[in-house]
Chain A
Amino acid sequence: MALTVKINGTTREVDAEPGTPLLWVIRDELQLTGTKFGCGIAACGACTVHMNGEPVRSCQTYIDDVEDAEITTIEGVSGTVAKAVQTAWAELDVVQCGYCQSGQIMQAVGLLSENSKPSPDEIDSYMAGNACRCATYQRIRAAIGRASELLEA
């Protein structure tokens, strides 16, 4: 059925069945493939997008529930926090395979938007649901610290 989604600042018409996870609408219908499929059960965080500015797992968010919400994906994330996070990610060469990194970045932007100077424990607990099998965690932690510095400057 025809539905509308407000995504990355534009309103898009999509054809999707009720109950379809937002993830698959984003990836297969809107062809925004920066948002990744990792587990389908909100256990890895690879599919993290922002709904009204807050990180959500798009694999467990249904298309029927987002009609009035503003969705932002890695392709559309912007603003000072996002810029600081992406700059820090580049400076520290956080990525390895890179598959989880869209989700890591969306989650990190969520953290720094709420708390611009998180402690190491706060970083660990906020990022705990975002898995990285390449184990880039050390650099994720450092990059969040670096982004926090950039925001302060």
Chain B
Amino acid sequence: MPIQTSRRSFLKGAAATAATATAALIVGFAPNGALAATGEGNLTPFVKITPEGKIIAIIKHFEMGQGTTTGLTSLIAEELNSELKDVDFEFAPADNSRYANTLFGAQGTGGSTAMANSYLQYRKAGAAAREMLIMAAAKAWGVSAAELKLENGVISGAGKTGSIAEFVGAASALSPPEDPTLKSAADFKIIGNPARGRKDTPAKINGTAIFGMDIQLPGQIYVAIIRSPRLGGKLTSFDASGAEGMTGFIEAKALPNGKGVAVFAKNTWTAFQARDAVAADWDFSAAETRSSEEIKQDLLTKVNSESEFSATPDADLQDTLSALEGAAQVVESEFYFPNLAHAAMEPISCTIEPTSDGGVVVHDGCQFPALTHPTVASVLGLDLSKVQINTLLAGGSFGRRANADSDYHVEAAMAFALTDRSKPVKLVWSREDDMRAGYYRPAFAHKVRVGLDEAGKIIAWDHRVAGQSIMKGTAFEQFAVHDGVDHASVEGAADTNYAIPGFHLGLTDLEPSVTVLWWRAVGHTHTAYVMESMMDMVAKAAGRDPIDYRLELLSSGTPDQKRLAGVLQLAAEKTGWGQELASNRAQGVAVHKSFGTYVAEVVEISRDDDEVVRIENVTCVVDCGTPVNPDVIKAQMEGGIGYGLGAVMRNEITLENGEVMQYNFPEYEPLRIYDIAKINVHVVPSTEPPTGVGEPGLPPAGPALANAIAAIGPRVTMLPMTKSGVEFYWA
């Protein structure tokens, strides 16, 4: 380096040195998808290494309990050869152009895709950071990079040793490698390691974790909304005189979209109390007026009529119908699935904070920034650049927080716009709001007729589905609806992996009634129940063992069939399937592929002399490709099983004259600790790419329970089970 003589160039050099010494190493991607690092324009950070050598993973997905903060941090830690505990995480900002879910092309979490779409992206960023740090050390020491290794924050080799902190500045001045070498699976220390150590555990057991509901900003005011008691009603007038004079009540104003009254107060409790004291009048002329019973009958009529659309365009319905006519026996059943609420533990909230430049920060457990960001900007008349999203932990979601209508963000933004925009406004929902504000799992009916030949082999399967489309009329329609068929209505049935001759599936939409939304596992919540219940009914009619019968239909050698058969066989082995059980005990099985993942489950129940059913044991075998965090996978299976079983056992949202009849948990009783005595999860080793785990544990659980009950009791096809007369154990 030439000696600097002039004062001007000396200063320049010193400034450059200082900048180099204090710069963090940031590695991410440019908009064209190429790796980019510190100092390069348009960089999207995925990993940041501070001048002190602290490694921070930037998490583009939100955390609702599914373990994404642990999963994505694991990928960075793996490629940087660090311990998981030594790598921190931060949530990414809202930036659709940079943090898109690569499977959606938009920033958002859902469809059990977080790991699947991030696996190579995060590893590549981590590997590039590793190579840049090593390159910087090699240059400083005048040795070959090939001689050096990075482990636990220390670079060593060629007789030298140094902390990565020494090289962060120099590395930040390098260009990232175009194609860094990813670690080989044989060298993995974190990926596939069954050790526990969730990144979010410490804050969630000592009260320091901050969820959306926990945001406390200086000067913040609170707002609760009065909504139409009947879904779809429009506000005509309101009278807030009952709330006037209440300490802490600020004011009440109509929302500009006619959907309610915003009641402002100085704290949450007063907002709820004042809301109860405000009277509102509604125009119900466009509101839902039906009852759930009417909707159910309508759906059942629809599945007993010709379907509106064919979801199996390659199949000929006439062939199926004529094969049915010639069948030696026909096994048939109708099924009904009610509306369900997500009922996450944390009621919805959203806080909008003004910034000094006339913009806002949205504080939210934000599941789909790609929707929330433009929605809030549009309601407030702001440029996108003036709206930031501060992603907070979400106390569950199960799909509720990703909504094409952005319902609660619109409420929060409208309420904020009704103020002078000088103070943060926190929208708070009560449990009753959360239960009654719509966006439910749509109600569905199915009718299936299966024709068998003399040998008990299937020769025809006529399957009709009716229910309200989730995707039609939303921004997702163009991706999810083809030839009139909303894939989310038929997924898991129309694309069954069983080799079923004469299979035809028809779909009829229900005219929109309640607002509907994806609910953990979406269409699979009902299709798996129907497919797997029918499979047992057909096996029984054929006089065959239900697992053998399924395996025979999974024997044409496709990769999907092999993996389904694999988990099914392992489940049989783990549960000693076929062994004699006590006369009051029974096992039921189901297997299903959803979100790229293969899951078999066996539920074992007991039934006492009073016919009370207890779930004694659930065994789950999951093949989700490379298991990144096996213990998180187990937790997601346990959670999916519990969430699914609780719903099929006793949950439903019902309407009377368009009004929701459930208010709080007593009318929508959640699964309790005593409901399932034990769950055992087995994770299948695999080197296939990782697939989803948040949802796939759910679909087989319901039908496995139904099949167990049917083995020693009634066959339940109308949900919830309690409404069909099944009584469950309680503590």
CB contact between B345 and one of A38, A75, A93, A128 (< 8 Å): that residue:
A38
Cβ of B247: which chain A residues have Cβ within 8 Å of it?
17
B209, B214, B398, B676: the one contacting A133 at CB < 8 Å is B398
Establish whether residues A98 and B206, one from each chain, have CB atoms under 8 Å apart when the complex forms: no
Q: Which chain B residues border A96 with CB–CB below 8 Å?
A: 65-67, 396, 635-636, 639
Over the window 431-471 of chain B, the binary record of Cβ atoms lying under 8 Å from chain A Cβ atoms (1 yes, 0 no) is: 10000000000000000000000000000000000000000
Closest residue of chain A to B204 (Cβ to Cβ) is A98
Residues B674 and A128 in contact, CB atoms below 8 Å apart: yes
In the assembled complex, how far is the CB of residue B388 from the closest CB belonging to chain A, in whole angstroms?
22
The reply to whether B198 and A40 form a contact with Cβ atoms under 8 Å apart is no
Which of A29, A36, A75, A98 sits near B65, CB closer than 8 Å? A98
Contact A127 B206 (CB under 8 A): no
Residue ID in chain B nearest A123 by CB atoms:
B673
B33 contacts chain A at the CB level, 8 A cutoff:
no
Are A138 and B65 neighbours in the complex by a CB distance under 8 Å? Answer: no
1/0 per residue, CB under 8 A from A, across B418-440: the answer is: 00000000000011000000000
Given A37-B268, A40-B430, A135-B642: A93 touches B631 (CB 8 Å cut-off): yes
Q: Which secondary structure dominates chain B's binding surface? A: loop
Given A40-B430, A130-B673, A131-B670, A89 and B205 contact (CB-CB distance below 8 Å): yes
B671 partner, pick from A20, A43, A92, A137, beta carbons under 8 A: A137
A2 within 8 A of B: no
Residues of B within 8 A of A135 (CB): 638-639, 641-643, 646, 671, 676
**Are A28's CB and B396's CB within 8 A?**
no
**Cα A100 to Cα B346 with chains together (Å):** 8
- The answer on a CB contact under 8 Å between B665 and A43 is yes
CB-contacts of A23-48 with B (<8 A): 24, 27-29, 31-41, 43-44, 46
Q: Using C-beta atoms within 8 Å of the partner chain, give the interface range for chain B.
A: 35 or more
In the assembled complex, A141 has its CB within 8 A of some CB on chain B = yes
Over the window 365-402 of chain B, the binary record of Cβ atoms lying under 8 Å from chain A Cβ atoms (1 yes, 0 no) is 00000000000000000000000000001111010000
- Among B214, B270, B343, chain A packs the most CB atoms within 10 A around the CB of B214
A39: chain B residues at CB < 8 Å are 431, 664-665
Cβ contact within 8 Å between A97 and B638 = no
Shortest CB-to-CB span from B629 to chain A, Å, is: 10
Q: Enumerate chain A residues within 8 angstroms of B631, measured Cβ to Cβ.
A: 93
A101, CB-defined interface residue at 8 Å:
yes
Count contacts on A: residues with CB < 8 A to the other chain. Answer: 59
Q: Which residues of B contact A46 (CB under 8 A)?
A: 345
Bound CA span A17–B266, Å: 12
Quick one: CB contact mask for B265-289 with A, threshold 8 Å, 1 for yes?
0011110100000000000000000
Interface membership of A114, Cβ < 8 A: no
Interchain CB contact under 8 A, A93 and B635: yes
Given A96-B65, A98-B393, A131-B670, also A36-B345 (CB < 8 A): yes
Q: In the complex, which residues of chain A have a beta carbon less than 8 angstroms from the beta carbon of B408?
A: none
The chain A residue with its CB closest to the CB of B730 is A128
For the residues of A in contact with B, the DSSP-based class is loop
Instruction: Find residues 82-128 in chain A having any chain B CB closer than 8 Å to their own CB.
Output: 86, 89-102, 105, 120-121, 123-125, 127-128
Residues of B within 8 A of A89 (CB): 201, 205
> Which residues in A have their C-beta under 8 angstroms from that of B67?
96
Is A140 interfacial (CB 8 A cutoff)? Answer: yes
Whether B197 pairs with A93 at a CB distance below 8 angstroms is yes
Contact pattern, B 657-676, Cβ under 8 Å of A = 1, otherwise 0: 00000001110001111111
Q: Does A148 contact B (CB under 8 A)?
A: no
User: Which residues of A lie under 8 Å from residue B344 when comparing CB positions?
Assistant: 97, 99, 133
B200 touches A133 (CB 8 A): no
Which residue on A lies nearest to B266, using beta carbons?
A28
Contact partner of B731 (CB less than 8 A), chosen from A28, A34, A35, A125, is A125
Q: Which of B208, B396, B636, B679 contacts A99 (CB 8 A)?
A: B396
Bound Cα distance from A90 to B66, whole angstroms: 16
Closest Cβ neighbor of A96 among chain B residues: B65
- Given known A38-B345, A141-B673, contact A136–B639 (CB-CB < 8 A): yes
Nearest chain B CB to A124 CB, angstrom units:
4
Chain B 673-731 interface residues, beta-carbon cutoff 8 Å to A:
673-679, 730-731
A36/B196 in contact, CB under 8 A: no
Contact of B481 with A by CB under 8 A: no
Q: Does B333 contact A (CB under 8 A)?
A: no
Q: A33-B214, A133-B396 are in contact. Are A74 and B248 (CB under 8 A)?
A: no
Residues of chain B lying within 8 A (CB to CB) of residue A36: 211, 213, 345-346, 395
Evaluate contact between A131 and B345: CB separation under 8 angstroms: yes
Given known contacts A99-B396, A127-B673, A133-B343, A32 and B267 CB-to-CB distance under 8 angstroms: no
A29-B267, A133-B643 known; 20 new pairs, CB 8 Å cut-off, are: A36-B346, A37-B347, A40-B431, A43-B664, A86-B205, A93-B196, A96-B636, A97-B394, A99-B346, A100-B395, A123-B673, A128-B672, A128-B673, A131-B672, A133-B398, A133-B671, A134-B396, A134-B642, A134-B643, A140-B673
User: Which A residues are within 8 Å of any B CB, using their own CB?
Assistant: 17, 20-21, 24, 27-29, 31-41, 43-44, 46, 73-75, 86, 89-102, 105, 120-121, 123-125, 127-128, 130-141
Q: Which residues of B contact A (CB under 8 A)?
A: 63-67, 196-198, 200-211, 213-214, 216, 247-248, 267-270, 272, 343-347, 393-396, 398, 430-431, 631-632, 635-636, 638-639, 641-643, 646, 664-666, 670-679, 730-731
